[in-house]
């Protein structure tokens, strides 16, 4: 495990607020800022982004596991910027982080052991498998502070029907994990005492898959959402051809 030392945009040194661990083919990010509700700072984002960019250039892991210490998962993100240029950079960084988590070849698992608000809930949603404790409270509270949560709305409608999704961001009222499951925002609701074990079992299942096929499965699944049926059909021909040739080569 490596604790990263870095400087936040506000100039305050921070040590160990996110723990980066590599165990075999699993890359883990553990939020470790419980005194502030595991608020994610800009420096924490930079640290995690650096690891994901390293994976893009030199792949080593197959699974990304995101979890947190303390009673809550993540109740938001730091808002340190005060001028237009800095605010734009801050916004761009959080969007880039979520984009990479969603689109990187790693299969991502979010282990949401407690409350997830705003950025925290948005981060869980973009993971491939958000597992949420039945005791957690979920919320998009930005409108209560006079801010339309554009970062969430950029993709929320891809996971839940608009009629269900829009009230969540408009009114900012808490909702239950069971409600999130019904809307398609999360993968599973777990008892608090079994959450870690269920995440362990899911990671083990992913690692049993053929690594090349798993990466291609995620890539094609995401790409298919951006094309129509005719385009996807043509892409499927190419994907099946290459995948079949690779499978035959492995059997020789």
- For 97-149, what is each residue's pLDDT tens digit? 999 999 999 999 999 999 999 999 999 999 999 999 999 999 999 999 999 99
Which of 103-112, 114-123, 222-231, 236-245 shows the lowest mean pLDDT across its residues? Answer: 236-245
Domain co-membership, 161 together with 216: no
Q: Give me the pLDDT at residue 15, please.
A: 52
Q: Are 27 and 2 in contact (CB under 8 A)?
A: no
Q: Considering only CA atoms, which of 98, 134, 139, 99 is closest in space to residue 116?
A: 139
Domain count, the chain: 2
Q: Are residues 71 and 179 in the same domain?
A: yes
Gap between the Cα atoms of 206 and 226, Å rounded: 25
Least confident of 129-138, 209-218, 219-228: 219-228
Whose CA is closest to 106, among 22, 184, 185, 32? 22
Residue positions counted in the chain: 252
104 and 186 inside one domain: yes
Domain that holds residue 234: 211-251
Q: How far apart are CA 203 and CA 71, in angstroms?
A: 23
**Number of helices and strands in the chain (H, E):** 9, 9
Whether the per-residue pLDDT at 237 is higher than 70: the answer is yes
Q: Are residues 201 and 215 in the same domain?
A: no
Confidence of residue 227 (pLDDT cuts 50, 70, 90): confident
Instruction: Kindly report, residue by residue over 144-170, the tens digit of the pLDDT.
Output: 999 999 999 999 999 999 999 999 999
Instruction: Answer yes or no: do 177 and 246 share one domain.
Output: no
Burial (CB < 10 A; 0-12, 13-18, 19+), residue 150, is exposed
Do 135 and 112 meet the contact criterion of CB atoms below 8 Å apart? Answer: no
Asked if 204 and 221 sit in the same domain, the reply is: no
Would the pLDDT of 184 be above 50?
Answer: yes
Same domain, 151 and 216: no
CA-CA-CA-CA dihedral for 99, 100, 102, 106, to nearest 10? 180
**Measured between alpha carbons, how far is 97 from 123 in angstroms, rounded to an integer?**
9
Residue 138 in contact with residue 175, Cβ under 8 Å?
yes
What was the pLDDT predicted at 190?
Answer: 98
Q: CATH number for the domain including 141? A: 3.90.226.10
């Amino acid at each position: 495990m490596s604790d990263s030392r870095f400087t936040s945009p506000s100039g305050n040194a921070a040590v160990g607020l996110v723990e980066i661990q590599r165990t075999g083919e699993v890359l883990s990010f553990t939020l470790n800022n419980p005194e502030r509700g595991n608020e994610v700072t800009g420096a924490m984002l930079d640290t995690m982004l650096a690891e994901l960019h390293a994976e893009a250039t030199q792949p080593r892991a197959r699974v990304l596991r995101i979890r947190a210490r303390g009673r809550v998962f993540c109740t938001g993100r730091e808002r340190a910027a005060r001028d237009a240029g800095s605010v734009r950079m801050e916004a761009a960084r959080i969007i880039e982080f979520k984009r990479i988590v969603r689109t990187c070849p790693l299969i991502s698992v979010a282990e949401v052991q407690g409350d997830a608000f705003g950025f925290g809930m948005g981060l869980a949603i973009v993971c491939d498998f958000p597992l949420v404790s039945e005791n957690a409270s979920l919320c998009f509270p930005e409108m209560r502070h006079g801010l339309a949560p554009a970062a969430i709305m950029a993709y929320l409608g891809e996971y839940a029907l608009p009629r269900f999704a829009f009230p969540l961001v408009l009114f900012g009222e808490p909702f239950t994990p069971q409600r999130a499951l019904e809307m398609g925002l999360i993968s599973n609701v777990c008892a608090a005492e079994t959450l870690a074990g269920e995440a362990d079992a899911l990671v083990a299942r992913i690692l049993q898959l053929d690594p090349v096929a798993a990466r291609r499965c995620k890539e094609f699944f995401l790409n298919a959402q951006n094309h129509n049926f005719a385009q996807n059909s043509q892409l499927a021909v190419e994907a099946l051809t290459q995948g079949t040739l690779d499978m035959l080569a492995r059997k020789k």
